A and B are shown apart, each in its own frame.
Chain A
Amino acid sequence: MKRLRLDRWTGQLLLARPGASPASTPRAVLRPAVAAPRCTAVRCQSTGAVSQIPGEVEDYHDGTDPIRFPPLEQLPPRATSLPSPTPVRALQSAKLAALHARLSLPERLPLQTLARALVDASADENPQFNNTNLAFVGQTLINYHVAEWLMCRYPRLPMDILYAAMKGYAGPTALHHVARSWGIEHAAAPGGEVDPGLLQFSMHKPGDAITGFGYRRAEIEGMKKYKWRHGMSSRVVFDDDFGEVVDTEQSKEELRARADTEYGNEYTRSLAEKAYATCARAVAGAIYAHAGRDAAKAFIRAHVLSRTLDLSRLFAFKKPTRELSLLCAREDFEPPVARLLSETGRLSRTPVFVVGIFSGRDKLGEAAGPSLEHARNKAAMNALKSWYLYSPGEAVRVPSDMLADDAKPWEPAYIDMGEIIGR
């Protein structure tokens, strides 16, 4: 079977966007040295367009008859040579206006900024025209609000679970789902002529990865090679907001490997996911920049924190009974005792034992299982989960509530003494 040669396709669409074609055709990718910046002229973010500078790249003309095939949209001069659409065109995009209305964004957030939030750093390397800066602000805000909400609402969560919950709410995959649920579509390839209402990212050019908090560990080579263990305390200090090791070298290599990828594999899907997540963060950052703190917080509450995540399914215990007895010793409870509450069919093929774990007269947890051991372990897990998932209430106040002008005096939030250390 012959492979489809993308670069041989002679569709009108492919011809109509030559600005994107050098990077998107596999043939051109093989010789990246040619890929010099096509647009050397100055771009302006303001609506006052710059006059054509002599000696720069002319608009591409593919030879079709403009009278027989009139262009769907009148592009401004030299639009096709730009890496991303000019901010002027944001005002004419129906997609962008619809997205603005669909998200009920504040009036103060202009369409130009929303258009900028849709341009990934891989599409346009100029930080004045891509969403890197907005995404950094948005990431900081989203992670802060998710973290404070989780910590105040579930004060006893162990650090590992807290990181997993953070990632479940504000990680790249979750934000990718958020951005998809907004109805954002992406362009096949970035360029100055695409609709500004489409998300633009490049599969092939690296762009600058969005920088987050966290340090590159000195021992990272050993961690990768010999699987050195890294404890939770060092994860808190060194690693990023989701407790994941910051590996700048690896991300650089990944970006370099982009040039060789083809469409439709797991790697390109992860790139798309990253671009969508960055876009969602950038929208949050843009709201903060234009409409302020309260609007950004309300937006994050509405779109990120309103999602459902069952925290009790994040736990995986190794030795629940031992941990429970350590917990009871630490809290001065009576030592836990497992008691058989009821059973059926002990000698049958499918017995069921219901085991409760008691500390003195208090029942800490209960579970049913097919064997005594299993039921006891499950009961201990249930007891531990009900301890760890203690919550002061659904409408718990968070520190950022105090930033409102008419905030009531702060009542200290519940702070737990920490997780049970069992080794």
Chain B
Amino acid sequence: MTIRAVQKISTGRNGVGSFILQCKKMNFHYCDWAGSSRGMNGFIKSLLPKFAASNPQVEFTVSPRPSKHPLIVAQYINGREKSVCVRNMEPYEILKKAELLRDASGEKNKRVTKPVQSINESVRGVWSPYHGNGLRV
């Protein structure tokens, strides 16, 4: 037999076939006493139930963090976590931050210069100097 197989493993592309939201858990920390938590407490009372109901794929926890600034910690599928301190923020500002964390991929922030990143090979192919009519110098 002249052909042998080399074992390779398929790679997944999130969003092709199915999309998995990368944020898997969000912890909301608040303080009952401190003034910097006033917005967070209002957020937890008024906006969080709706936000949690509209995002069933994320696990939500609310826990006190006495004598500390309020905090949102999001955990991602890739194992990383991101946290945002929301001290002195209004409830709707906190909602913005929560949406930001929910939509993040969990990767480190990177500067994106190319509009498309793909693992597919180029449709046009790589330019070759040995084909075509060549370039007269």
The residues of A with any CB-CB pair to B shorter than 8 Å are 94-95, 97-98, 100-104, 158, 160-161, 163-164, 167-169, 171, 173-174, 177-178, 180-183, 232, 301-303, 305-310, 313-320, 322-323, 341-342, 344, 352, 354, 368, 419, 421-423
Q: Is the CB of B4 within 8 A of A102?
A: no
The answer for the CA separation of A378 and B1 in the assembled complex, in Å, is: 18
Is B29 part of the binding interface, using a Cβ–Cβ cutoff of 8 Å? Answer: no
Highest count of chain B CB atoms <10 Å: which of A171, A181, A322: A181
* Bound: A303/B18 CA distance, A: 6
* Chain B residues, CB < 8 A from A309: 8-11
A-B contacts, 25 listed (Cβ < 8 Å) = A94-B59, A98-B57, A100-B56, A101-B56, A102-B24, A102-B57, A103-B20, A160-B5, A163-B5, A164-B7, A168-B7, A168-B8, A173-B9, A180-B77, A232-B1, A303-B17, A303-B18, A305-B17, A306-B16, A306-B17, A308-B12, A314-B6, A315-B3, A316-B4, A318-B2
Q: Which residue of A lies closest to B18 (CB)?
A: A302
Q: Are A313 and B8 in contact (CB under 8 A)?
A: yes
- Nearest chain B residue, comparing its CB with the CB of A185: B24
Please give 13 more A-B residue pairs, beta carbons under 8 A apart, in addition to A182-B20, A314-B8, A354-B131: A102-B20, A161-B5, A164-B6, A164-B7, A164-B8, A169-B10, A181-B77, A301-B17, A306-B17, A308-B10, A308-B13, A315-B3, A354-B130
C-alpha gap A387/B4 in the complex (Å): 16
Residue B137 at the A interface, CB < 8 A? no
Inter-chain contacts of B95 with A (CB < 8 A): none
Chain B interface residue count, CB cutoff 8 Å, equals: 34
Closest 8 pairs (CB-CB, A-B) = A306-B17, A164-B5, A101-B56, A307-B10, A309-B10, A102-B57, A302-B18, A302-B17
Which chain A residues border B60 with CB–CB below 8 Å? 94
- Whether B3 lies near A160 (C-beta < 8 A) is yes
Q: Tell me if B6 and A313 are in contact (CB < 8 A).
A: yes
Enumerate chain B residues within 8 angstroms of A354, measured Cβ to Cβ. 130-131
B84 part of interface (Cβ distance < 8 Å):
no
Point out the residues of chain B lying under 8 angstroms from A303, CB to CB.
Answer: 17-18
> Does B112 lie at the interface of the complex (its beta carbon under 8 Å from any beta carbon of A)?
no
Chain A residues within an 8 Å CB radius of B21: 102
Are B1 and A423 neighbours in the complex by a CB distance under 8 Å? Answer: yes
Residue of B nearest to A299 (CB): B18
* CB pair B3 A368 closer than 8 Å: no
User: How far, in whole Å, are A418 and B8 apart by their CA atoms in the complex?
Assistant: 23
- B113 interface contact, C-beta 8 A: no
Q: Is B89 an interface residue (CB 8 A)?
A: no
Q: Does B123 contact A (CB under 8 A)?
A: no
Whether B12 and A177, one on each chain, are in contact in the complex, defined by CB atoms closer than 8 angstroms, is yes
